[in-house]
Homo-oligomer: A and B are copies of this chain.
Amino acid sequence: MDFNEAAVFVKVVQAGSFSAAARQLQLPTSTVSTRVARLEQRLGVTLLQRTTRRLHLTEAGNAYFEHAALGLGHMLEAEAAIDAARQEPQGKLKITAPADLGDSMLSGLVQQVQTQYPALEVELVLTERYVDLVAEGVDAAIRTGQLRDSSLIARPLGIACWAAFASHDYLAQAPALREPQDLNHHHCLQFSPMGRDAWTFRRGPSSITVPLKGNTMANSIGIVRNMALSGQGVALLPTYICKPGLVMGDLERVLPEWQAQADPVHLVYPRQRFMPPKLRVFLDIAQAELRPWFSDNA
């Protein structure tokens, strides 16, 4: 089954002659002649009755032409759809990120993408679980920690540092807090993935692990942060969601010389033969938007 023969036949009928069709298709007349003849041979019917310099569509030829012309129309629409998608980033962009990234950061990113490219739809999927990008049709992911899938392409965004924070109100009435051990006399607000039993701090080569009572714990970083803001205690939070100037960013870093975990953050996406325009523009915007959040000098 050779659909290119059908395409040539349809063009011959539309053009009214082999020669005119050859000109429009930019093919030699011998190619046009041969392809139509081959189609007739394969179908076992005369599609075009030829007298010298004149063509006439047979009844069978007309029936075939009607269906084939519709078919070709759809094929051309398929190519036009691809042409349109190649020129302008469009369609749906599906991004996954850990739940503990800040709302401000992510909502800012999505806003930037859609402001610059209104034709793009964005679906943001926040989850803790590992997402197989290819299998789940996800265009890109923001990942913290060590990467484990080497088939993906990774672009580093920076380092996510975790540190201790508390509100002014809390600190004003709480005992002094100069060393990590002092946390034994404080109410510790724990984000469960960041240590259920103890917090570990580092300063240069030194490392101190402080056992915790586990009195208050949640697996939502927003909830832990809100508790800290309301003066309930000291929380271990990533520095990127506690930056000055953020709405409700009125937390004060305590034990500033000590930092807890430090994770690399990457933007990852599947290797593929052709980079979709929507992904290319997203990667550029994401790096511009996100890198400042993960820089060391905050």
A positions within 8 Å CB-CB of B: 1-4, 6-7, 37, 40, 43-46, 49, 51, 54, 56, 58-60, 63-68, 70-75, 77-79, 81-82, 85-86, 91-92, 134-135, 137, 151, 270, 272-274, 276
Contact = CB atoms under 8 A, between A and B. Distances in A.
B63 A82 contact: yes
A134 B273 contact: no
Given A3-B6, A7-B3, A73-B71, A40 B274 contact: yes
A204 to B, nearest CB: 43
| Stoichiometry, copies per complex | 2
A49 B275 CA distance: 11
Nearest to A80: B67
Contacts of A276: 45-46, 58-60
A60 B46 CA distance: 38
A198 to B, nearest CB: 39
Given A68-B75, A71-B75, A78-B68, A1 B6 contact: no
Nearest to A274: B46
Nearest to A65: B78
A10 to B, nearest CB: 10
A211 B137 CA distance: 96
Nearest to A270: B49
Given A71-B75, A74-B68, A49 B272 contact: yes
A77 B4 CA distance: 16
Contacts of A2: 4
Which 5 pairs show the lowest CB-CB distances between chains A and B?
A: A71-B74, A67-B78, A3-B3, A71-B75, A70-B74
